Amino acid sequence: MDEQLQHLDTLKDIKRMMERSSRFISLSGLSGIAAGVCALVGAWLANGVIESSARYSNTHEVRELRRTSLDSGADLQTYLGNTLIQIALGVLIAALVLGFLFTYLRSRKTNTPIWGTTAKRLLINVSIPMIVGGIFLLKLIDIGNYGLVAPGCLIFYGLGLLNASKYTLAEVRYLGYAQILLGIISLQVMGNGLLFWALGFGVLHIVYGAFMWWKYERS
Amino acid sequence: MKNPIEKLNKVFDSRIRLGIMSALMVNEEVNYNALKELMEVTDGNLASHLKTLEENGYIKTSKNFIGRKTNTTYTVTKAGEKAFKEHISALEKMIKLLG
């Protein structure tokens, strides 16, 4: 019986070593929390911009203007679209910088190199679905189909995570499933894009990050 | 029935050698520093285990330069792959027999 346990241990060792050597394991839960907070701030800003532009377009002067010139509605749309894209880019950059920072700190702590084969593989595999998704979504914005942007973000991001989960902590897979599911639900209840976007990129990231931090980094 | 213990490979008795083989099986190549961090062993210790594996023809060493630094990478050979798989299936058989 002892001998059997010993062989089982050896097999477990082999499995652990295979995983450790082929996956990027420095990903910090704090990175997830930081990305989630950035997304919530971004969603709050975007909500403000959307509301104020809705108020603005309902004022008496603008209604007058719209009656006389057909273009002013389109102008407002373009302005709104540009502002939202700027907010989205700001959120993306802030989330990436903070996400990188916490993961870098963790890799220093655990003494694993941050830039290696595993990091490269993770980055390539998360990027492909996201770049394809980005191109697709820019085209949707281009043709004025804003309603599909938020569900699209969630679905493509979820697919990216799912694809990347083979190369990092396995729990990332569940975050991927959750994002895809949320994206599909938001397709069914159109008109609540920003709310679902905030749920997916904000709340899910924070929940995931907190769970991962609690599981692996709490000391 | 043949005793599966005979199929267990003596070279893989060492946890470190088995660890090195495991890492090489799932990666095209692994460099020296990455192996050292994975195994958490000293230079001398790692070098001697690598030498044993190479002498048995299970791994292949290649040296190249990144700038001025030498970068030594290791890959598993066909023979190494076969020996590793046989060792694992022997382990599995023994677990089944004993269970």
Q: Is pLDDT at A161 greater than 90 in this prediction?
A: yes
The C-alpha atoms of residue A136 and residue A163 are separated, in whole angstroms, by: 18
Task: Decide if B34 and A18 are in contact by the 8 Å CB cutoff.
Answer: no
Tokens of A202: 């904000």
Averaged over A203-207, what is the pLDDT? Answer: 97
Confidence of residue B87 (pLDDT cuts 50, 70, 90): very high
Q: Which of B99, A199, A46 is nearest to A208 (CA)?
A: A199
Q: Is pLDDT at A186 greater than 70 in this prediction?
A: yes
pLDDT attached to residue B47: 94
Nearest to B19 among A11, A17, A113 (CB): A17
CB atoms within 10 A of CB A15: 11
Which of A79-88, B39-48, B71-80, B84-93 bottoms out in mean pLDDT, i.e. has the lowest? A79-88
Averaged over A192-199, what is the pLDDT? Answer: 94
B94 Cβ under 8 Å from any chain A Cβ: yes
The domain containing residue B87 runs over which residues?
12-98
Q: Which residue has the higher pLDDT, A61 or B77?
A: B77
**Global ipTM:** 0.84
CATH code assigned at B49: 1.10.10.10
Residue B5 lies in a domain: no
Nearest to A22 among B18, B27, B91 (CB): B27
pLDDT attached to residue A158: 97
Task: Decide if A13 and B22 are in contact by the 8 Å CB cutoff.
Answer: yes
Confidence of residue A209 (pLDDT cuts 50, 70, 90): very high
Chain A residues within an 8 Å CB radius of B36: none
pLDDT attached to residue A107: 84
The DSSP string of chain A is: -HHHHHHHHHHHHHHHHHHHHHSB----HHHHHHHHHHHHHHHHHHHHHHHHHHHHHTSHHHHHHHHH-TTHHHHHHHHHHHHHHHHHHHHHHHHHHHHHHHHHHHHHHHT--SSSHHHHHHHHHHHHHHHHHHHHHHHHHHTT-GGGHHHHHHHHHHHHHHHHGGGB-TTHHHHHHHHHHHHHHHHHSTT-HHHHHIIIIIIIHHHHHHHHIIIII--
Residue with tokens 């509605």: A73
B8 Cβ under 8 Å from any chain A Cβ: no
Question: What's this model's pTM, rounded to 2 decimal places?
Answer: 0.74
Averaged over A159-183, what is the pLDDT? Answer: 94
Question: How many structural domains is chain B composed of?
Answer: 1
The C-alpha atoms of residue A139 and residue A9 are separated, in whole angstroms, by: 53
**Residue ranges of the domains in chain A?**
28-217
Chain A residues within an 8 Å CB radius of B18: 10, 13-14, 17
Q: Is pLDDT at A134 greater than 90 in this prediction?
A: yes
Which of A49-63, A128-142, A149-163, A178-192 bottoms out in mean pLDDT, i.e. has the lowest? A49-63
